[in-house]
Amino acid sequence: MATHEIAANATTIMIFPANPEILDVNVTNDDINQYEEEMDIDYASPPEGGLTPVTKCCLKRQCFTKFAPQVQEDCFNRFWCIRSKTNQNYFLAGLMSADEPKRTVQKPVRHNKSVSWTYFVDVRGKKVQVCQNFLTAVYGISSSKIQTIQHKLLNGSSLDDLRGRFSKRKKSDHDSQHVTLDVVSFQTTDKKVRKKKVK
């Protein structure tokens, strides 16, 4: 299998996931899933109908020719065995590297368009370079998900999925009154302290 070489003059930003354990595709996900159940983590569900075998993606690389349909199915299933969206984000971040264009003056990278990205697919622990279209097709994800991860990586933001972490339920009247009383009592004592200081 051919490996991709990056030009010597290119600046390479290697992105590694914060939780490298999830890249070991030979390890079962029982421990991760048990931890997620205890932490009440938002689960990700695979697309309906499963994987449609990728038969075309890019003209230049012809990535789909490197992967038999069974291998594509295996990649898809192993990705969706990672049940939480946060762990999926870190997994995908580990399959991308950013190549910053050569510049005469060093400036911080702010826009995704100024960076070229290299993509990989994890086949039982081995990374094989592919195009973005193949990556999104074989894992059953949208290109906007990839763009969101890239934007967060360039800005140094956390890849954690925070959806559903904060409850939208209204507090009961008892809880609301309790909070109000705490605030009022704090303000009252605060005024007393101020009066003493003035005298």
* Helix (H/G/I), strand (E/B), else coil: 56: coil
For residues 20 and 41, the model is more confident at: 41
pTM, two decimal places: 0.52
Where exactly are the structural domains of the chain?
11-155, 170-199
The pLDDT value recorded for residue 42 is 57
Model confidence band, residue 160 (pLDDT cutoffs 50, 70, 90):
confident
The pLDDT value recorded for residue 18 is 41
Spatial distance between the Cα atoms of 96 and 15, rounded to a whole number of angstroms: 7
Q: What is the pLDDT of residues 168-179, one digit of tens each?
A: 666 666 666 655
Spatial distance between the Cα atoms of 180 and 177, rounded to a whole number of angstroms: 5
The pLDDT value recorded for residue 111 is 52
Model confidence band, residue 119 (pLDDT cutoffs 50, 70, 90):
very high
Q: Averaged over 22-42, what is the pLDDT?
A: 47
In the structure encoding, which two tokens stand for residue 138, read together? 């074989």
Q: Averaged over 28-46, what is the pLDDT?
A: 54
Spatial distance between the Cα atoms of 118 and 57, rounded to a whole number of angstroms: 15
Spatial distance between the Cα atoms of 57 and 54, rounded to a whole number of angstroms: 7
Model confidence band, residue 12 (pLDDT cutoffs 50, 70, 90):
very low
Answer yes or no: is pLDDT of 96 > 80.
Answer: yes
Spatial distance between the Cα atoms of 175 and 108, rounded to a whole number of angstroms: 47
Q: What is the pLDDT of residues 43-83, one digit of tens each?
A: 677 777 788 888 888 877 788 888 888 999 999 989 988 88
Cα first-last separation, the chain = 84
Rg, the chain, Cα only: 24
